[in-house]
Amino acid sequence: MLSNAAFNALLKTLEEPPQNVKFIFATTEIKKIPATIISRCQKFDLQRVDLKTLSNHLKNICQNESISYENDSISHICKASEGSVRDALSLLDQAASLCGDDIKDQIVLNMLGLNGYEKNIELFELCLSNQCSEALKVYDDILQNGVQPLQIISNLLEIGHLASKINVIKSDTNMTETIQKKISEISTNGLPKLVRLWQILIKSFEELKYAPNEEQAGSMAIIKLCYGSSLPDPSQFLEKISEQTNTQSENKQTKVSETSHSQDKLNKEIIVNNEEKSVNLKNPESFEDMLELLLKNKESLLHAQLINNVHLISFEESNIKLRLKFKSDTEILKNLSSTLEKLTKNKWNVTHSEEDGDKTIVEKQNIKFNEQKEQIKTNPHFAEVFKHFPHAEITSIEDKKSN
């Protein structure tokens, strides 16, 4: 909690300490201590005290202070302290005051917000089996007992962690026998599912901190847990993929055995494909055929340039004469020549001329469209429509007649 100025003042004292004086500093957040302070001290990293040692220490204190206790109550206090002797002593002192030096399990559970821990285990089991409606009922019951939603999610996180741990190391001596039995049953659901639920819970824990309504956010967390438990494991996906692979390999073997019977069919398909290719190799007989050939071979850009910017003057076999619009790209002619040569395997001579020539394809289409619009407007039926909607416009025309 020291400011930078306070640390600087302390630094001077550490550099020139008084004789026969030793300073001992303790912190739980070493990262907040400046490097200049740490470099002038001997640093000792103290480990957390294990539950067995801490439990024996608290029991010894209770014996010396004539405090009676139920055995599980000391275990609950040690677990809540998370290996901190200072926190364990504070909780023991609080429990002794509440119980009048006769510490009871139920009072300790109420004090720590762990009342009805078995209910949390039941809730976790219901989520694992995807019984969403029952899980929400149990969640509401726990809330009615005064446990906060954040504490419920924290308890579920602990259950998920213990179940995953038992799944790996098979036992945990830091739990009571009853709790360990129930957690062991949960661990049989498999590590992939337990890890997936842990990830949902840790995300939900953060969401609850910022949720406008903690109870609603807790309910959504329970629903997500139930949904997540029903998702298949990655191993099941791998099994399905391997099954599909085996099926495909069997089908390939069957097809190989039937190849001789379908050879005629394959030969016919090859002939058809060759005929289609020969169509592409045929020289276009008109400017419109050439445009259609470009579209079939996915030359859309060149096709668009031709219909918008080119006036046709003459079209003969392997000879095309065109006039480009003002400021049009002259590379169009070169591209057209090389593309036609690639598609037809014949050389094409594409030249530019200053003659007027025909209108562009787009201009012709616009003229035809305008003529059709005028015809439609003169139709008595459509005239009635324009009478009631004078500002209406015809934007497109489609021929819906059947062939």
Domain ranges within the chain, ordered by starting residue: 4-38, 51-112, 137-229, 280-358
How many Å apart are CA 402 and CA 307, to the nearest integer? 29
- What pLDDT does 89 receive? 92
325-335 in b/e burial notation, b at 16+ Cβ within 10 A? eeeeeeebbeb
Helix (H) or strand (E) run with residue 113 in it: none
- What pLDDT does 374 receive? 80
Burial of 87 (0-12, 13-18, 19+ CB in 10 A): middle
CATH of 51-112, one of 1.10.8.60, 3.40.1260.20, 1.20.1630.10, 1.10.510.10: 1.10.8.60
- What pLDDT does 60 receive? 92
- What pLDDT does 274 receive? 47
- What pLDDT does 272 receive? 47
Please name which of 28, 158, 38, 33 lies closest in space to residue 85, comparing C-alpha atoms.
28
Burial of 400 (0-12, 13-18, 19+ CB in 10 A): exposed
How many Å apart are CA 72 and CA 61, to the nearest integer? 16
Q: β-pairing, 102-103 with 310-316?
A: unpaired
Q: Measured between alpha carbons, how far apart are the two ends of the chain, in Å?
A: 88
SS3 assignment, position 398? coil
**Sign of the CA dihedral running 315, 320, 322, 327:** positive
pLDDT tens, residue order, the chain (403 aa): 888 889 888 888 888 888 888 889 888 888 888 888 888 888 898 888 888 898 899 999 998 988 888 877 888 888 888 788 888 999 998 888 888 888 887 788 778 766 667 788 888 888 888 888 888 888 888 888 777 888 888 888 888 888 888 888 776 656 666 677 888 888 888 888 888 888 888 888 888 888 888 888 888 988 988 888 877 766 665 666 777 776 766 666 655 555 555 555 555 554 445 444 444 456 777 888 888 888 888 788 877 877 887 888 888 877 888 888 765 567 778 888 888 888 888 888 888 877 877 888 888 888 888 888 787 777 777 777 777 777 777 777 777 665 4
234-253 in b/e burial notation, b at 16+ Cβ within 10 A? eeeeeeeeeeeeeeeeeeee
The first and second tokens of residue 165, run together, are: 């741990």
CATH number listed for the domain at residues 137-229: 1.20.272.10
How many Å apart are CA 61 and CA 361, to the nearest integer? 101
How many Å apart are CA 58 and CA 88, to the nearest integer? 8
SS3 assignment, position 151? helix
Architecture category of domain 280-358 in CATH: 2-Layer Sandwich (3.30)
The first and second tokens of residue 181, run together, are: 């039995």
Please name which of 54, 64, 60, 67 lies closest in space to residue 93, comparing C-alpha atoms.
67
The first and second tokens of residue 116, run together, are: 């009805």
- What pLDDT does 391 receive? 74
pTM greater than the 0.75 cutoff: no
How many Å apart are CA 165 and CA 113, to the nearest integer? 23
Q: Where are the alpha helices (DSSP H) in 70-148?
A: 71-81, 85-99, 105-112, 117-128, 132-144
**Sign of the CA dihedral running 216, 217, 220, 226:** negative
